[in-house]
Amino acid sequence: MRIIPAIDIIDGKCVRLTKGDYSTKIVYNENPLEVAKEFEANGIKHLHLVDLDGAKSKRIVNHKILESIASATNLSIDFGGGLKSDEDLKIALESGANQITGGSIAAKNRPVFLDWIKRYGGEKIILGADCMNRKIATDGWLESSELDIIEFIQNYELEGVQYVICTDISKDGMLQGPSIDLYKEIIEVSKVKLIASGGIANLQDLIDLKEIGCEGAILGKAIYEGKVTLKELRDLC
């Protein structure tokens, strides 16, 4: 299972939120590139980079930070947040993203997202499936929908999606464990490569996710709060 640390960006800084609430913002580092380099120095190969300013403003904002990390490290970066148009996608890819994650666009503008899958393939375009009470949330989790998480994933699997990042928003930033039962259900009813996100608090959570068949696991606050060390992650990798 791939271990994927997260860097969330607001105002050019590395932050974490709780349950996606922007008012809970904690700044952990003024320099995201510094954080990314530390990850790489400890054997990390993958990075989940989220433009929270972009998610809120519904357009890519922090692409310069993506560009700086991509050019100064060898990390494989998946980038999301605010990707709403072909131009946003082009900027992200030209700035060095190896993959992009589309969540709101997949929920609210299916034809555009399907076109991205057709043009770039299921290896490049990740489906972002973030949910609260099993319903898909959009726009930096500021809006909710009536889309069922399982149906949402299955419908896009039929269209060629291979990778899915799923965050149970109720778990995000809580350090109380991931949504194992939800992830089990997704793995049982689909063949997507599931990347779990939200709630990871310790190494046992990562081991549990690996055992149920997750392809990857994203963690942020557990690292920044010292619940899991980079050395422990290196050893686990």
Q: Exactly one of 51, 53, 88, 130 is catalytic; which is it?
A: 130
**Residue 130 catalytic?**
yes
- Pairing relationship of beta strands 2-10 and 46-51 according to DSSP bridges: parallel
Q: Cα-atom radius of gyration of the chain, to the nearest Å?
A: 16
**Calpha distance 25→18 (Å, rounded):** 7
Residue listed under structure tokens 């709403």: 84
Long-range contacts at 137-145 (CB < 8 A, ≥ 24 apart): 137/20, 137/169, 138/103, 138/104, 138/107, 138/108, 139/55, 139/56, 139/58, 139/104, 140/20, 140/22, 140/52, 140/55, 140/56, 140/81, 141/19, 141/20, 141/55, 141/169, 142/20, 142/56, 143/104, 145/107
Catalytic residue among 8, 78, 88, 205: 8
Element (H, E) at 135: strand 135-138
Active site residue 8: yes
Catalytically active residues are: 8, 130
